Structure 1
Amino acid sequence: MKFSVITLGCTLNKAEGDIMKNILIKKGYEYTENPDESEILIINTCTVKGPTESKAIKLINKYKDKKLILAGCLVQHQPELFKGYPLIGLDHIDEVDKVLEDYLNGKIDVLIDRKNINKLLLPSVDQYPIKTIILQEGCLWNCLYCATKLARGNAKSYPPEYIYKELRDAKLKGLKIIYFTGTDLATYGYDLNIDLADLLFGLKDIKGEYYVRIGMANPGILNKFIDKLLESYNNENIFKFFHIPVQSGSNNVLKTMGRGYSIEDFYELVEKIRKRYYEGTIATDIIVGYPTETEEDFRKTLELVENIKFDIINISKYWPRPKTLSYKLYKQLPGHIVKERSRKLKIIFNKYAYERNKEWLNWEGYAVVESKGKYENTWIARNYAYKQIIVKSDKNILGKTIKVKINNITPIDLRGELLEIKEENLLEKTLY
C-alpha cells in the first residue's frame, strides 16, 4: 500500500515525520511524495499558530476519503479536535506501524499519553546532504502565549554519546550539513548536568568535513553561559549561526509574555556574539500585535531592529492559542493594527538586512551546497557564517563544497559566481 506524510511546522516536527516515514518503509509500505497517489496519509501537525491549525483542518477535509492518521503537536495539544481518527502523540511515533495496522483492521488507536522514548534510536530519513539530529524536546519556560510548551512539556535531553554516534554515521554517508534541533537548545543538558557548550566542545574529537547548524536557543537561559558557548563555537565544523528569539523590543511586552529576560539582557547577548563572531548570522523571531503591545512598545521593537540589524527575522502576527494563559487573559488587538505593524516591521528589517549584506560584496570563499534553488540551474549554498548564497551551475553540485565570489545581494541572500568545485577527500569521511 502507498502512503504519504505531510509535516507542518518546525525542523523538529520534520525530523519526527521522517522517523514515522522510515518506520513504515521498513515495514514494507511504499512511500510516495504525492499525497494524491497515496492510500494512507499521515498528517503531522503543528500547534504554534492559528494558520497551521487551519492548514491541518483543510488537509483533513481535502483528503477525507483516504485513510488518515494524525500526529504531532496539535494532536497532543488539542486531541478533542480530531475525534474518530487514529491519533499519534509526540511520544508514540515509534508505534506508527502498530497504529496503521490496527486502523486497517478496523481499530482506532488514540495514543497521547506521555512516556519515555529515545528518538535517536529510531530509524530516520536523511535529506542529502542534510542530517537532522534531535538534541532535546520541551523547554523550561511557561510563556503565556505558547501552545508548544503545552504539547511538548518540560525539557528533556538526549545523552551526548547518542548524538555523536548519529553525527559519525551521517559523516560516513557523506552528509555534510548537520542540523542540531530541538524545542529550545539553550536548555540542552539541564537534566544531564551539562550544557550545550559541553556538547559542542566534544565535536573537536570528530574530524572531517561537516558543518553543524545550532537550532533555536532562548535568551533567558543562553545568557547564563554565553561566554562558554561562544568559546565552543571556535570550531570550523560549526556554522556561526545563532537563532535567538527576542519576540519584542519592549520590556512591558516581554514581561506580560512571561519571557524571563529584559531587552537589556538581549542587547548584551548580541553584543557579545557580534564582538566574537561579527560576520555570524543572527536570526530572531518577533511577534507583532501581542495583546499588551502599545504603539510605544512597537516603536521599541522597530528601534531594536534598527540597532541590531538582524540577518533573519521570522515575523509572526499574534495568534491566541486555546488553553494558553494569554488566550484566557487578554483581548486581541484589532486586525488592521496588527497587519500594519507587521508591514512596517518587514520594511525596516529589509532595509537593515540589506545594509548588513552589503558588507559581503566581493567576498571570496568556500560554501557547501545544501539544496536546489527556486529556478533552473540555481543552487543554494551556505558559507561559514550560514549566509544563504545563490549560485548558478548546469552541473549537479548538490552536497559539493564550492568556492564563490559574491557579486550581488538582496536583503535575504547573497548572489555569487561559482569559481571552483572542490575535490572530494574520501578519507575525510572515515576519520573519527
Structure 2
Amino acid sequence: MARIWIEAYGCSASQADSEMISGLLVNGGHTLAASPEESDAGVIVTCAVKDATANRMVHRIKMLGGRPLVVAGCLPKAEPGTMARISPGAALMGPNSIGRTVPVVEAALRGERRIELDDTDLTKTGLPKVRLNEAVGIVEIASGCLSECTFCQTKLAKGDLGSYRIGDIVRQVRAEVDDGCSEVWLTSTDNGCYGFDISEDLPGLLDAVITIPGRFRVRVGMMNPMYMPRIREGLAKSFQSDKLYRFLHIPVQSGSGRILGEMGRGRTAGIFADAARRFRSEFGGFTISTDVIVGFPGETDGDYESTEALIEEVRPDTVNLSRYSARPGTEAAGREQVDVQTVKRRSKRMYELSCRISLDRNKEWVGWKGDVLFSEATEGGIRGRNREYKPVYAEGAVLGETRQVRITKATNHCLVGEIES
C-alpha cells in the first residue's frame, strides 16, 4: 500500500478524471496523501488548453519530480515529446486511459516508466471515485467532439466524439444523488453534440436525468454553438424543469464571420446571438456564459470590433476571455501571429467591456429574494447558486443546504445577500 498525492487542473472533465483516478487507487489498496511531501508517488492531471496553463503544468511537473510521478490528462497525449524533455522519468497516461491507473502508478512506484496514451473502450460511468466536493457530483457524458477547430489542442488529446449511453449516465447521476450530492454537473468536451454518434441527443439525456427522484440541481456544461440549431427547441422544453439550472455556456470565440471561418467554427456568431435571445425571451433571467479569443492569427481591428459589437448586443453574463496562444500541433500555430501589443490592447478593451456588462447584469438582481443552493467552498466562503446559476455569497451559509436569500449587493463577479430562512 502506497500513499499517492493527486492534483488536477483545467475543466470539470479533468476534475472528474482526478476523482475517478483517486477512486481506482483507493479501491486498489492505496491511500491518498494529504500533501506531496507525505506521498510515495504523485499523479498530476493536466490541461493543455492554452500556453499559460501549459506553462503552469510544466512548472508543477518539475516541482513534483522528486518522487515517482504519473502525468495524466491532456498534456501527455497532445505533447508526449514535451513530457519526455521536461520529465523523462515520469509515467504517462492519456485522458481516455484512466482504466489503467493502478498498473501505471504501481509501475511508477517500482521505478518503471509505463506509457499508456491509447484510448480504451472503458466508459467513465460507474467507476469508483473520491469526490473533490462532497456536494457536487461530476458526471462525464462523452469524450472527444465532432469539431475541427484550428486552435484547439484538446481535440488532439481526446479525439472524436464517443458518447456514453443514456442509461449508464442516468445510473451514475442517481448514484451521485443517493450519495448525498445536491448538485450534478454534466460535462464533456462538447455537450452540444452529445449522442450524435449513438442516435441520441442532449435534450433526450436531460429529459431522462430529470426523472430521477430527489432534490438536486443539474448544471449543463459547455456546448459549442454550431450544434445549437439541431437541439435548441428540445433544450427549451428540457429547461422547463426545476431540476435544471437556467444556464448555458456557449463559446462564441469571435464576432467576425471571417475569423470564425479561419477558426474552423463556421459562421456561428448569429447562432449564438439567436440562442441567447431565445432562452432569455422564454425564461427571463436565463444566464449566458461565453468564451472569447482575441488576437487570433489574421484578426484585424475590424474583426475585433465585430466581436465587441456582438458582446454589446448579446450582453452575456460572463465572458471567459483568452489571448490567443499557439498550441503545438494545431493548424493555427503555423500562421502569422498578431502583434503582442495589439493583442494586449484588445484584451484590455474586451476585459473592461465584459466587466461592465457583468456588473450591469448582476445589478438587476439586487432586491431579488429566492432559493439558493450552496454547493461550493471557495476562498471567499461558501458559494451558492440561484436557479439561474448566479453565484451568491451569504454569511452563515452551509455547504449542501438550500436557503432563501435576499440579494443586497452586486459586483461584476457575484451577488451578495442575506439569509432570510
Structure 2 residue runs of 5 or longer lacking an equivalent are none
Supply the distance in 2 between the matched residues of 1:261 and 1:277 (Cα, whole angstroms): 26
Q: Is the 8 A contact 1:219 1:261 kept in 2?
A: no
Shift of 1:285: 0.6
Aligned to 1:7: 8
| Counterpart AA for 1:292 | G
Residue 391 of structure 2 is aligned to residue 385 of structure 1: no
Output the aligned Cα RMSD.
1.3
Aligned to 2:40: 39
Supply the distance in 2 between the matched residues of 1:323 and 1:352 (Cα, whole angstroms): 35
Report the 3-state secondary structure (helix = DSSP H, G, I; strand = E; otherwise coil) of the residue aligned with 1:349: helix
Aligned with residue 272 of structure 1, among 275, 278, 299:
278
Residue 109 of structure 2 is aligned to residue 104 of structure 1: yes
Shift of 1:98: 0.5
Report the 3-state secondary structure (helix = DSSP H, G, I; strand = E; otherwise coil) of the residue aligned with 2:420: strand
**CA-to-partner distance for each residue in 1:275-333, whole Å, 9 max, x for gaps?**
112201100010011012111111111111111111111101101011111012x1111
Supply the distance in 1 between the matched residues of 2:35 and 2:23 (Cα, whole angstroms): 16
Aligned to 1:368: 373
| Counterpart AA for 1:220 | M
Q: How does 1:344-363 map to 2 (within 5 A)?
A: 344-363=349-368
Aligned to 2:238: 232
Aligned to 2:264: 258
Supply the distance in 2 between the matched residues of 1:346 and 1:274 (Cα, whole angstroms): 23
Q: Is the 8 A contact 1:286 1:314 kept in 2?
A: yes
**CA-to-partner distance for each residue in 1:60-106, whole Å, 9 max, x for gaps?**
22122111111111111111122232111122211111012222223
Aligned to 1:175: 181
Q: Is the 8 A contact 1:357 1:410 kept in 2?
A: yes
Shift of 1:29: 1.9
Supply the distance in 2 between the matched residues of 1:53 and 1:222 (Cα, whole angstroms): 30
Aligned with residue 144 of structure 1, among 150, 162, 177:
150
Shift of 1:134: 0.3
Supply the distance in 2 between the matched residues of 1:105 and 1:410 (Cα, whole angstroms): 52
Aligned with residue 283 of structure 1, among 267, 281, 289:
289
Q: How does 1:179-258 map to 2 (within 5 A)?
A: 179-258=185-264
Supply the distance in 2 between the matched residues of 1:387 and 1:223 (Cα, whole angstroms): 26
Shift of 1:158: 0.6
Shift of 1:356: 1.3
Supply the distance in 2 between the matched residues of 1:152 and 1:373 (Cα, whole angstroms): 30
Report the 3-state secondary structure (helix = DSSP H, G, I; strand = E; otherwise coil) of the residue aligned with 1:119: coil
Aligned with residue 134 of structure 2, among 111, 128, 133:
128
Aligned to 1:335: 340
Report the 3-state secondary structure (helix = DSSP H, G, I; strand = E; otherwise coil) of the residue aligned with 2:302: helix
Aligned to 1:17: 18
Shift of 1:33: 3.9
Supply the distance in 1 between the matched residues of 2:134 and 2:340 (Cα, whole angstroms): 41
Aligned to 2:411: 410
Aligned to 1:76: 77
| Counterpart AA for 1:185 | N
Q: Is the 8 A contact 1:145 1:325 kept in 2?
A: yes
Supply the distance in 1 between the matched residues of 2:124 and 2:269 (Cα, whole angstroms): 35
Structure 1 residue runs of 5 or longer lacking an equivalent are 421-432
Aligned to 1:425: none
| Counterpart AA for 2:360 | E
| Counterpart AA for 2:392 | I
Runs of 4+ in 1 over 4 A off after TM superposition: none
Supply the distance in 1 between the matched residues of 2:357 and 2:126 (Cα, whole angstroms): 43
Report the 3-state secondary structure (helix = DSSP H, G, I; strand = E; otherwise coil) of the residue aligned with 1:321: coil
Change (3 A) 1:373 1:61: closer
Change (3 A) 1:236 1:73: same
Supply the distance in 1 between the matched residues of 2:331 and 2:377 (Cα, whole angstroms): 42
Q: Is the 8 A contact 1:178 1:212 kept in 2?
A: yes
Q: Is the 8 A contact 2:5 2:32 kept in 1?
A: yes
Q: Is the 8 A contact 2:40 2:109 kept in 1?
A: no
Supply the distance in 1 between the matched residues of 2:118 and 2:377 (Cα, whole angstroms): 40
Supply the distance in 1 between the matched residues of 2:34 and 2:376 (Cα, whole angstroms): 17
Report the 3-state secondary structure (helix = DSSP H, G, I; strand = E; otherwise coil) of the residue aligned with 2:100: helix
Report the 3-state secondary structure (helix = DSSP H, G, I; strand = E; otherwise coil) of the residue aligned with 2:125: helix
Shift of 1:196: 0.3
**CA-to-partner distance for each residue in 1:243-291, whole Å, 9 max, x for gaps?**
0000011111101101023322222222112111220110001001101
| Counterpart AA for 2:238 | S
| Counterpart AA for 1:88 | M
Report the 3-state secondary structure (helix = DSSP H, G, I; strand = E; otherwise coil) of the residue aligned with 2:138: strand
Supply the distance in 2 between the matched residues of 1:275 and 1:391 (Cα, whole angstroms): 29
| Counterpart AA for 2:69 | L
Supply the distance in 2 between the matched residues of 1:170 and 1:113 (Cα, whole angstroms): 29
Supply the distance in 2 between the matched residues of 1:105 and 1:411 (Cα, whole angstroms): 50
Normalised to the residue count of structure 1, the TM-score between the two structures is 0.93
